[in-house]
Every structure is written in structure tokens, then in C-alpha cells.
Chains A and B, each alone.
Chain A
Amino acid sequence: QVQLVESGGGVALPGGSLRLSCAASGFTFNISGMHWARQAPGRGLEWVAHIRFEGYNKYYADSVKGRFTISRDNAKNTVYLHLSSLRPEDTAVYYCAKNWFHGFVYGGQGTQVTVSS
């Protein structure tokens, strides 16, 4: 069973940075693509970023391109999301998910990011 534990969220100032982590278990991590998605308060889901299994190919939503960086450590079964130049509209619950047939398999509770002065 896919288990994903997101951490690293918190309160950041506009223009600030955070690094989110997602520890994975229950599946073969090093052959799985991974996503980050988010959900702003009272809003729908938004895809944020994807990283392929090998860690070299990375893709981003236009809303975060140039500000967020996805990475992974296959030795630690962990995927990361570095958030920089944060804006109030980045306030959301951030979920990581396993890629499965170009869909999302969620396995954690998410981590809350709040951008506020």
C-alpha cells in the first residue's frame, strides 16, 4: 500500500522559502515518477510539479515555474519540493503523489504552507 508522509510546511513570509519533503514506502520508489499537487483553502486541486523516476526530467505548472524546484533522493525514498519567492497565493495544503498511468496516487495527509506577513 502506498504510504507517503509529507513534512516541512509552515508559515513563510512573502518572498521567503520552504523545503517540503515526502517520505515514500509501500512501493518501488526508484522506478516511480512522483508529483506534488496543492489545494488552496476552499479551492480545487492543482498540479504543481512532476519528476521522473531517474530524477533528471522535471516538469512544472506555469504558476510555479522558475520559483519551485522538485528533486528526489532514491537512496532515501524521498521527494522534495523547494519553494522560493513565495507569494500569498501559494498558501495551500501540499500533497505528494505517486504517478500511476499518468494519474495520481495519494498516500498522505499533506503539509500546510501559509504565506503571510
Chain B
Amino acid sequence: QTVVTQEASFSVSPGGTVTLTCALRSGSVSSNNYPSWYQQTPGQTPRTLIFNTTARSSGVPDRFSGSILGNKAALTITGAQAGDESHYYCALYFSSAIWVFGGGTKLTVL
């Protein structure tokens, strides 16, 4: 069974920078997994932030960026704002045509 792991929670100060990661319990994440990132506040539909590792979705500010860091996918938020407080999920694609979401990171801005 493929397991995708994310930090359960993270805190960042307003104006600060935070990097959330998305890893495989076994193996490395690469661009071939087409990592994507989603922001979701409770009770709301997820919003796509990043697709295809680094591409920002339409309307997403450039404070949000995606990358591969070592053997993980990463989402970096710079200049954190109160409105960034949310849950963040990554998703990975596997060539057997399955997709797996990570468990999500709850980001607190304080």
C-alpha cells in the first residue's frame, strides 16, 4: 500500500516563511509523480494551489511555490498571512494510474 506522509501540523509567524513537505513512506517523490497541492478551510471545497510540481493554479499568489526538495515534494509559503491558516494536502500520481493524497498539514499562523 502506497502511503504519502505530511507533517500533521506546522506553525508560522505572520510574515514568515514555511515549507510543508510531502513524502513517500517507501521511496522518493519525483516530478514523475506530478505533485499537486491543495488548500482547504473547514467546510469548504479544496482549492488547487500547485500542479505538476511547480505550476501555480490561476489566481494563486506567487507567495506559494512548489518544488522537489531532496526526496520530497515541497510547498513553500512566503510572507505568511492570517488568511493562509488552513489545511494543506498534497497528492501524488503513480504510473499505475492511481492517485494518493497525503494526510494533510494543519497550518497555524500566529
Contact = CB atoms under 8 A, between A and B. Distances in A.
Interface string B30-66: 0000101010100001111001100101000000000
B45 A47 contact: no
Given A45-B38, A45-B89, A103 B101 contact: no
Given A102-B52, A105-B48, A47 B100 contact: yes
A102 B93 contact: yes
A104 B45 contact: no
Contacts of B89: 44-45
B10 interface: no
A35 interface: yes
Contacts of A37: 101
Contact of B91 (A57, A95, A103, A108): A103
Give the contact-size bracket for chain B.
20 to 34
A96 B38 CA distance: 15
B14 interface: no
A44 B93 contact: no
Contacts of A62: 1
A65 B41 CA distance: 29
Contacts of B34: 101-103
A60 to B, nearest CB: 8
Nearest to B102: A44
Given A101-B52, A103-B36, A104-B36, A110 B101 contact: no
Given A45-B38, A46-B101, 20 more contacts: A35-B99, A45-B89, A45-B91, A47-B100, A47-B101, A50-B99, A61-B98, A62-B1, A101-B34, A101-B36, A102-B34, A102-B99, A103-B34, A103-B36, A103-B93, A106-B38, A106-B45, A106-B48, A107-B45, A108-B45
- By Cβ-Cβ distance, the 5 closest A-B pairs, closest first, are A103-B36, A102-B34, A103-B51, A102-B93, A101-B52
Interface of B: 1, 34, 36, 38, 40, 45-48, 51-52, 55, 57, 87, 89, 91, 93, 97-104
12 contacts: A44-B87, A45-B40, A45-B89, A47-B98, A47-B100, A95-B45, A100-B51, A101-B51, A101-B52, A102-B51, A103-B36, A105-B48
